[in-house]
């Protein structure tokens, strides 16, 4: 096992045991809930959005495996304070790069559930049509 794999595994376990931005917001501007029926993961994200369309605050809640909850924690740290149009440009390659692991075909949906939930919340807030890439996450 390589040292970098161990390091990334530690990061994932840390985010799983000590999730960042877990909880709920009072009166969120947008929220979305989605589940991964293959794994049983359920994830909701709540967003507070500023007048200039920046993500002021974000919280997530739900139940899931270490990969899905760590991914949600890492993603919320990545996007807090960012403009919504920049958030919509985050793709699965970027999130998987931040996770630092290749979850493999059986766990890819776990790793990407948070990205789908976040983007769906942003699209619903903006009243925009959901792009194909997001639908396929």
Q: Distance (Å, rounded) from C-alpha 103 to C-alpha 11?
A: 14
So what's the architecture of 3-126 in CATH?
Alpha-Beta Complex (3.90)
**Residue 8: is its pLDDT beyond 90?**
no
Q: Please answer whether residues 30 and 124 qualify as being in contact, where contact means their C-beta atoms are separated by less than 8 angstroms.
A: yes
**Residue 1: is its pLDDT beyond 50?**
no
The pLDDT score that the predictor gives to residue 5 is 64
Q: Distance (Å, rounded) from C-alpha 58 to C-alpha 20?
A: 10
Domain boundaries, the chain: 3-126
**Overall residue count recorded for the chain in this entry:** 137
- What is the pTM assigned to this prediction? 0.93
Report the pLDDT averaged over residues 48-57: 98
Q: Please answer whether residues 93 and 102 qualify as being in contact, where contact means their C-beta atoms are separated by less than 8 angstroms.
A: no
The CA radius of gyration of the chain, in Å to the nearest whole number, is: 14
pLDDT in tens, 67-84: 999 999 999 999 999 999
Report the pLDDT averaged over residues 14-22: 96
**Residue 34: is its pLDDT beyond 80?**
yes
């Amino acid at each position: 096992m390589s040292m970098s794999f161990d390091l990334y595994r530690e990061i994932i376990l840390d985010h799983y045991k000590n999730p960042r931005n877990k909880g709920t917001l009072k009166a969120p501007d947008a929220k979305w809930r989605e589940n991964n029926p293959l794994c049983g993961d359920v994830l909701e994200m709540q967003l507070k959005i500023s007048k200039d369309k920046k993500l002021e605050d974000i919280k997530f809640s739900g139940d899931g495996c270490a990969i899905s909850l760590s991914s949600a924690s890492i993603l919320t740290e990545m996007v807090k304070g960012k403009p919504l149009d920049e958030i919509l440009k985050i793709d699965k390659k970027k999130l998987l790069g931040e996770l630092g692991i290749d979850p493999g075909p059986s766990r890819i949906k776990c790793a990407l559930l948070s990205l789908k939930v976040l983007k769906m919340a942003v699209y619903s807030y903006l009243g925009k049509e959901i792009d194909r890439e997001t639908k396929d996450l």
